[in-house]
Each structure stands twice: as C-alpha cells, then as structure tokens.
Structure 1
Amino acid sequence: MHKTLLAVLVMGVLAGCAADPVWAPEEDVQRVKYREPGPARLTLFTMISNETGAGGHSSLMVNGSQRVIFDPSGSFVHPVVPERNDVLFGITPKIADIYTRYHARETWHVVVQELDVSPEVAELALKLAKENGAVPNAYCAHSTSGILRRLPGMEGLRQGMYPVKLADQFRQVPGVRESVLHEYDSDDNSRLLEAWDPERFAKTKKQ
C-alpha cells in the first residue's frame, strides 16, 4: 500500500472515522427537527492533528429547511441525536457546540469554515447528504468533497481523501469565513458526552 494512503487510513482510525449503517425511526427524526434562524449555510469541519498537522476527519453541517450534520464514518453518537446513515438530525446550537468540542481535544483541533449560500444550494446539499448512504472507514473527506463539488459554484473542488486539502480548497471559495477551535481536555472524548448527559449516555453504552 502506498505510504501516503496508509497514513490517511491510520489518521482516520485515530480520529474516530468508523461508522455502521443506522436508520433512526421517522418519529425521532421529526421530533428533533431544527433549523437555525438566519441564512442558509454550509459549515465544513476539519479535524487536524496537533502533533503532525495531518487531517483526521471531515464533516459538513447544512442549515437548510433543517440543520443536520453529515458526519461520514464519524464516531459522534448520542441518544438525543437521531442518525440515518451518517446524517445527524436536530442540530441545535447546544448540539453543534458539543459536536465541535467533542472533536477538539489535546491531540486534535478543529477548523470551522462557514459559507452562506442560497436556500436552493442548502437544500441540494441536504438532499445529497441524505442520499449518500453510510460511508466506509477513512472516506470522510472523499464523501464530503463529493457532495460539495456537486453544488453550484463549487464544481471546481476536487474530490479526494485528504481532509486538510479539502479545507484548503474550500478556503478559496468566495465568502468562506474561518475559525479554529483548540481545547486541551483528555483525548478520551467520550467524557464530554458523559458530562453532557451522564445517565442517558450510560444506558446507551450498556446496550
């Protein structure tokens, strides 16, 4: 196996790129449906190693008729957040904050890139995310870039396996705003979920 591809696969495992096909019931999805007030928006998350600078995970938050996170082969799981094949529903401000902080820890930081788009573009992104299906391990950047490059104005983005290269490309799209989140808590990010809702998280772990 080519060394660079092997490095991507290893970093993907370390960042938690592992997912199984799941399908939350319709009543759960409808119950938590949420749209963030304000403009339609795409938010690209890129998780980057503090030690090597290599990318470990890519995901995409879409604020259209509802706000979801396309978290391909991701590890974020919580009983209050219904999931359908890597699409997380009901992304309120609190859950968006928890999701971002879940990935930022002593070994990783998160680059957050926001782009306001038309409602039509947001709806197309939402549709593509829902239709994508569960993503194989280490294909998070590949699937995320595959969705973005199908959106109007982003056809020039190249589809690839590297989260940092995707972030570099997205940075060149006019109107993108960028911030970086650093946190230095334990590398055991499950503790953040336990602190958020310890009783429900404990029940989920026992199932």
Structure 2
Amino acid sequence: MRRLCLSLCAIFLLSACLAEPEWAPEADVQRLAYADGGEASVTLITVIQTEKNEGGHTALLIDGSQRVIWDPAGTWWHPQSPERNDLHYGITPWMEAYYRDYHVRDNFHVVEQKVSVSQATADAIIAAYQANGAVAKANCTRSSSAVINDFAQFSSVRTTWFPKTMMKDFAELPGVITTTYFEDTLDLSDAEVIGREDL
C-alpha cells in the first residue's frame, strides 16, 4: 500500500511540473492579430501579493508588428485571444485591460514596467518566445528572464525564478516607465470605451 501511495504521489508531482501545450489554428491567429501602429515596446507585468509583498506571476506584453502577451504557465484566456503555447495573440487595448483586471484583486496588485525598443527587437523577442514553447508550472519568471536576457538591451536582466528579482532588474533599465495598478484604481469600463467592438 505504501508503495502504491508513493507511486501515485510521484505521478501527481510529475504531472504538476509538465507544460500544457496549446496550439490555436493559424486562421484564428491571423484573423485576430492586432497592431496599434504605435511605438514598439516590451512591458514586464508582475503580479504582487500585496499583504506579503511577494511576487506571484510574471508575464510580458510585447508590442511589435503585432501585440501579444507572453503568459507562461498562466491561467488567463479569452476566446478572442488565440493562444499558442503560452503566447496570446490579438491583444487589443480592451484585451490588455481585461488581462490586467483578471490579475488585480483584493490582495494582489500589478506592476507594469514599459521599455521602448525597436520594432525589429520586439518582433525578435516575440519569435524567441514563440520558439520557447509551453512552460511548466512555477517556471513563469525563469522562462521569461532566460529568453529576454539573450537580447542586448535586456542583457542585465538576470535569469531568475523570482518575479521581484526580474522586476528589480527591469527597474534599472534606461527609460523604463513604471505603472502600478490596485483594485480600487482599476476601471475596466475605460477599456470598453476604447474598443470592446474588437471582441
């Protein structure tokens, strides 16, 4: 009986570590792709547990020839944002606000750190995360930092398991713009005015 319990525990732990592949059809990715034509940028999104001041999740909004969110091992989804292995496409302003609203709650807030890049760099970073594939649970910051620090502009970002460590490194990048969102300051209705018709 003890051997059976140990085997079942091992299977459970292994399944918890496996990545969960997802591959939206090409037609959906193409149909729902979105670009705002603005300045290319990379925005680190860090979810913070407010009471303990601990990092809970890491993601990246990448704005190049199209806007995507890299949400490694994340639970967010929307039927109008096709996903391919943790990379979500079709990130309109409304979808971006919806993603933010999903993470901000009573005891969690979101810190966003935006850095301007060239469109070529943004597109190369998107391609790098596309190539990375789906990420196993608890590896969101590890995968995010390991990929982005291959790019010269982000070479000072250390490979780390800890969301607040990556956030600290982003804070030291030249020209970074930081915005913090708490539940009492977040208003999804603002995004609806911008363009719910995109859904």
What TM-score, normalized by structure 2, do the two folds share?
0.82
Separation (CA, whole Å) in 2 of partners of 1:81 and 1:133:
17
Separation (CA, whole Å) in 1 of partners of 2:78 and 2:33:
16
Q: What does residue 12 of structure 2 align with?
A: none
Q: What does residue 81 of structure 1 align with?
A: 81
Output aligned runs, 1:1-207, within 5 Å. Answer: 20-183=20-183
CA-to-aligned-CA distance 1:155-204 (integer Å, 9 cap, x gap): 1221010001100001100011001000059xxxxxxxxxx9xxxxxxxx
Deviation at 1:36, TM superposition (A): 2.2
CA contact (8 A) 2:39 2:116 kept: yes
What is the letter of the counterpart of residue 137 of structure 2?
Answer: N
CA-to-aligned-CA distance 1:52-110 (integer Å, 9 cap, x gap): 01101000111111110000000101211100000000000000000011100002000
What is the letter of the counterpart of residue 62 of structure 2?
Answer: V
Separation (CA, whole Å) in 1 of partners of 2:40 and 2:86:
21
Q: What does residue 6 of structure 1 align with?
A: none
Separation (CA, whole Å) in 1 of partners of 2:135 and 2:85:
8
What is the letter of the counterpart of residue 44 of structure 2?
Answer: L
Deviation at 1:37, TM superposition (A): 2.4
Name the larger-Rg structure: 2
What TM-score, normalized by structure 1, do the two folds share?
0.79
Q: What does residue 3 of structure 1 align with?
A: none
Instruction: Tell me which moved more, 40-49 or 152-161.
Output: 152-161
Deviation at 1:19, TM superposition (A): 6.1
The SS at the match of 1:56 is: strand
Separation (CA, whole Å) in 2 of partners of 1:79 and 1:53:
32
Alignment RMSD (CA, Å): 1.8
CA contact (8 A) 1:58 1:163 kept: yes
What is the letter of the counterpart of residue 175 of structure 1?
Answer: G
| Contiguous gaps of at least 5 residues in structure 2 | 1-17, 189-199
Separation (CA, whole Å) in 2 of partners of 1:133 and 1:36:
26
CA contact (8 A) 2:156 2:169 kept: no
Separation (CA, whole Å) in 2 of partners of 1:159 and 1:36:
31
Percentage identity across paired residues of the two chains: 40
Q: What does residue 201 of structure 1 align with?
A: none
The SS at the match of 1:153 is: helix
What is the letter of the counterpart of residue 102 of structure 2?
Answer: Y
Q: What does residue 192 of structure 1 align with?
A: none
Separation (CA, whole Å) in 1 of partners of 2:165 and 2:74:
19
